[in-house]
Structure 1
């Protein structure tokens, strides 16, 4: 072998080695492991961990289609608002609930978004923040429904008036099946007398307690409207009797105020009959003393007569997470024309 052949062979070998080393230098990046959603069972069903955190999140909501019937139903801005004898609307609602452990107990945050539509046209639709609040160690602050939003299970009783959704600060103590608390409420959408042109943001203070003892549930609440200097108290209770549950309620107002101004006093009763696993029938009745049919615009209840209301609510579970509800109610009184109202509803929950 001459020198020329040896040099050429060495050069070829070095080229092969260099090429192999160059190829080895190009290394594909390893794919990062995917963190799949983990179930969080610390706070009940439906929660999962937000990836990369120790916060548990639950997403739920419903889709509702409803047809209201009765005189002067509003179509919310249609060609003849307030003159139709029926009105259909659709609602979509979604709720986000986040929970995490802290040294003070679970820290909860809730956001509820709602969109209502009377027609496909955007002019007939509205989106609202239905609730948004922070809750920890019994303290709650934000936009949420008050104890006055609670009621009997049927659709006949009127045990609160005006908006029961307030910007509030509340403390609620809970022990087993018992709770008691106090809240300070902004009553912005409350009662305003006819001679009140300023419409201040009324401040209200509410107290509530309630609980369950065996087959019996109870609730006693009160609210004081500081601007109107009037208040109201209400008591409710239910007890299981036979095939259903008997519900009783009473409410009294010292004068017209943002918590209750439909009447000076009222008593209501219902009997929710669980006819089958899927069918519930709830007849109800309510009697009003000094019934106010003037949208709460007066200062007191003088000059109003009594009234009574009777109705029936039917709830039916079509299948899992799909429900139908229908109600019809008849109202009559000393100083008002008799009126029949009701609605039919389909709702898919998730």
Structure 2
């Protein structure tokens, strides 16, 4: 037997005498359970369940680019002779949370708004934040006096419409009625005081087929003056006719543009994407003279054009001409692009 055969035999004998050790088993880690976002369709489109809860959340908002035009439209204290145009940008996001309770849906809303006149002149504001349950609403929100006709010509609302308020509103399918107590400390004062002003407002409205209506009233306790307003719209031909009238006993937080005013517009649905709205407003005793309305009257005419470029993206252009009896006339307007989501 040669050396080669001896070596092979020795190797075979060693292998046979060596115990075979089993390799450690490879155990795969159990995957963490994944809770996918569930759609919540109980409150309409866009809601989803917050993972691990029964609360439904909706996130929406818009991005807006706008160019304002008019005399001194971009003027400020440090730029008193600025040009007659000014570009601004806004981003707004709204969070709406809803959950079922024995009293009905519990709603919470937060609206944040971010505005930029330029890179160094920007601000972030809380545009709304309120809770709502069983018709009761409390927090920072817009009053009924923020509502208006669909165009941009009418001037029939409060100078400040966002208040800390407590409100109750009854709603049926086609009718609502409510009352609110509003903190008016950032509204105009005409009696020389700057106290923690408050007021009471009431609103009712509804729809009846092609007709809609709204009546709003408010009493400013500090200025001891009040105002009342009525609005209505009705479908006529290819568009919607809107009419409004407002009366104020004297300048107050709810209305201070004139002693009384009437407005009219006709929103023409030219195509599925194009709406054209000519409008006019007449003011009696326009403006403020001390703590009273002035004696002169005023006229305002305007045109607003809305065009939907694609879904959730539209353009708007508006121009307004104001001719007061006791002041210089003026022309203002803007062009807007807005993407909603």
CA distance in 2, matches of 1:83, 1:177: 48
| Equivalent runs, 1:258-269 vs 2, <5 Å | 258-269=253-264
Residue 53 of structure 2 corresponds to residue 47 of structure 1? no
| Equivalent runs, 1:126-137 vs 2, <5 Å | 126-137=123-134
Residue 169 of structure 2 corresponds to residue 178 of structure 1? no
| Equivalent runs, 1:17-96 vs 2, <5 Å | 23=24, 27-75=27-75, 80-81=79-80, 83-96=82-95
Match of 1:334 among 306, 325, 328: 325
Q: Deviations over 1:153-201 (max 9, x none)?
A: 00000001321010000000001110000000011221212x61x4112
Counterpart of 1:101?
100
Runs of 4+ in 1 over 2 A off after TM superposition: 26-29, 74-77, 81-84
Match of 1:232 among 201, 211, 227: 227
Residue 301 of structure 2 corresponds to residue 284 of structure 1? no
Which structure 2 residue ranges, 5 or more long, are not aligned? 1-16
Relative to the length of structure 1, the TM-score reads: 0.89
Counterpart of 2:10?
none
| Equivalent runs, 1:84-163 vs 2, <5 Å | 84-121=83-120, 124-163=121-160
**1:290, distance to aligned residue in structure 2 (A):** 0.2
Q: Secondary structure at the match of 2:71?
A: strand
Q: Secondary structure at the match of 1:108?
A: strand
Q: Verify the 8 A CA contact 2:146 2:158 in the aligned structure 1.
A: no
Q: Deviations over 1:91-150 (max 9, x none)?
A: 0000001111111101111000000001112xx000000000000100000000000000
Q: Verify the 8 A CA contact 1:75 1:118 in the aligned structure 2.
A: no
Q: Verify the 8 A CA contact 1:73 1:82 in the aligned structure 2.
A: no
Relative to the length of structure 2, the TM-score reads: 0.91
Counterpart of 2:188?
191
**1:334, distance to aligned residue in structure 2 (A):** 1.3
CA distance in 2, matches of 1:34, 1:82: 60
Q: Secondary structure at the match of 1:176?
A: coil
Q: Verify the 8 A CA contact 1:238 1:247 in the aligned structure 2.
A: yes
Quote the RMSD (CA, aligned, Å): 1.9
Match of 2:197 among 199, 202, 206: 202
**1:247, distance to aligned residue in structure 2 (A):** 0.2
CA distance in 1, matches of 2:181, 2:81: 35
Q: Secondary structure at the match of 2:271?
A: coil
Q: Deviations over 1:290-345 (max 9, x none)?
A: 000x5xx73111x4200010000000001111110000111112101111111000
Total equivalences in the alignment: 327
CA distance in 1, matches of 2:267, 2:246: 20
If you compute each CA radius of gyration, which structure gives the higher value, 1 or 2? Answer: 2
**1:82, distance to aligned residue in structure 2 (A):** 6.0
Q: Secondary structure at the match of 1:73?
A: coil
Q: Secondary structure at the match of 2:104?
A: coil
Which structure 1 residue ranges, 5 or more long, are not aligned? 1-10
- Change in CA separation of 1:157 and 1:144 when aligned onto 2, cut-off 3 Å: same
Counterpart of 1:213?
208
CA distance in 2, matches of 1:114, 1:81: 26
